[in-house]
Amino acid sequence: MYNPPDYYLVDDLLTEEHKIIRSAIRDWVERSVKPVIEEAAQNHTFPLHLIKEMGKIGAFGPFIPEKYGGSGLDQISYGIIMTELERGDSAIRSAASVQTSLVMYPIFTFGNEEQRMKYLPKLASGEWVGAFGLTEPNYGSDPGNMLTHFEDKGDYFLLNGAKMWITNSPIADVSVVWAKDESGKVRGLIVEKGMEGFTAPVTKGKWSLRASITGELVFDNVRIPKENLLPNVKGLKGPLMCLNSARYGIAWGVIGAAMDCYDTALRYALERKQFNKPIASFQLQQKKLAEILTEITKAQLLVWRVGILKNEDRATPAQISMSKRNNVEMALKVARDSRQILGAMGISGDFPIMRHMMNLESVITYEGTHDIHLLITGMDITGIAAFE
């Protein structure tokens, strides 16, 4: 039975509703994710049947109002859901992050009422899968220089360009795509599966996030109906606002991966004997376990505070960057140290640690790299952007 660490009694800060949500998602991960995820990752496939189940358990759009199919919950609930999903696998949390923060959030925040009613309930239920296209082959950390663009042709927009490294693009029914208009302003377009000239090839051969489907979005003179333009935002702040929400979810999510590694390593250290003693009795292993628990505890407190600030609409993008950066690095280090505690067994698919570790190599890169988040903090401190 999974026994998550709670060294500083963070549970006391949660409401009964938070605990009920956590328990429901945890049970679902135990029942539906754990039994299939290792094989899916080994086979480099996404367990597609989980999408509708995720819709049923409320993993998509927890903070979107009920009117649109969401659950109308607070930001702490969103964070808790992300932690529990990522305890199963970062790929499962990724699917929920993209659907919630990168597809439902922009349609809810920047869309009109018709767009909200058309897309949000189907995305919330998992009937439709969403993708978010910002990164391009030549512009990753620097999306402001994107080349994808559209022209106003009177009755429709003509979209050309390509996006790369897009979670769920090959299976997406709906993609929120960021492209420049004729004046060079970044705008959001809703691109639907099957539009002529639009393809979404799969990216194969990943060693990380193997249970997540990644692909491209390629637009070759795609006619986009004018009603598919998100009317209420112009400029790079549109996609960056979506990223604030997704990065916040990741800061919570990776704690789940770290906790799963810690739980596995602690049990193993207590059971595995060398030199006639459990390896947990050796100081070097205790050092690893003690430091892991310290870092997980600090990460829990960090996201708790950001969550409260987010509930009050006071969390700044730079605060969110700090928590994403700190917690992903923490989780990656926890995974590496936990893997060592298991010795050779640490690389085996019989345990989840190596899978988490490999996944986290993507998580530390996507939604803004580790370096970019540091530079965002640097800019916040000094007022000087060191990007250029």
Site for ligand FAD contains 134 (CB under 6 A): yes
Those residues whose C-beta lies under 8 Å from the C-beta of residue 242, and which sit 6 or more positions away, are 101, 102, 105, 106, 132, 176
Site for ligand TGC contains 106 (CB under 6 A): no
Those residues whose C-beta lies under 8 Å from the C-beta of residue 121, and which sit 6 or more positions away, are 68, 69
Site for ligand FAD contains 362 (CB under 6 A): yes
Contact segment (CB under 6 A) with ligand FAD among 17-25, 35-43, 194-202, 365-373 equals 365-373
Choose the one of ligand FAD, ligand TGC, none that binds residue 214, judging by a C-beta under 5 to 8 angstroms depending on kind. Answer: ligand FAD
Site for ligand TGC contains 148 (CB under 6 A): no
Q: How far is the CB of 92 from ligand FAD (least distance, A)?
A: 13
Q: How far is the CB of 283 from ligand FAD (least distance, A)?
A: 36
Sign of the CA dihedral with 300 first, then 301, 302, and 304 last: positive
Contact segment (CB under 6 A) with ligand TGC among 92-100, 105-113, 254-262, 302-310 equals 92-100
198-217: which residues touch ligand FAD (CB under 6 A)? Answer: 209, 214
Task: Point out the catalytic residue in the list 151, 312, 367, 388.
Answer: 367
* Alpha carbons 135 and 165: distance in angstroms, whole number: 7
* Alpha carbons 97 and 162: distance in angstroms, whole number: 22
Asked if 17 is an active-site residue, the reply is no
- One DSSP character per residue, 88-149 reads H-HHHHHHHHIIIIIIIHHHHHHS-HHHHHHHHHHHHHTSS-EEEE--BTTBSS-GGG---E
Those residues whose C-beta lies under 8 Å from the C-beta of residue 251, and which sit 6 or more positions away, are 79, 299, 302, 303, 306, 320, 323, 324, 326, 327, 328
Choose the one of ligand FAD, ligand TGC, none that binds residue 133, judging by a C-beta under 5 to 8 angstroms depending on kind. Answer: ligand FAD
Q: Which of 321, 281, 171, 104 is nearest to 96 (CA)?
A: 104
Site for ligand TGC contains 387 (CB under 6 A): yes
**Residues at the site binding ligand TGC, with contacts judged by CB under 6 A:** 94, 97-98, 132, 134-135, 141, 143-144, 167, 235-237, 240-241, 243-244, 246, 317, 366-368, 372, 376, 385, 387
**Residues at the site binding ligand FAD, with contacts judged by CB under 6 A:** 98, 132-135, 140-141, 165-167, 209, 214, 362, 365-369, 371-372, 375, 387
Catalytic residue numbers read 367
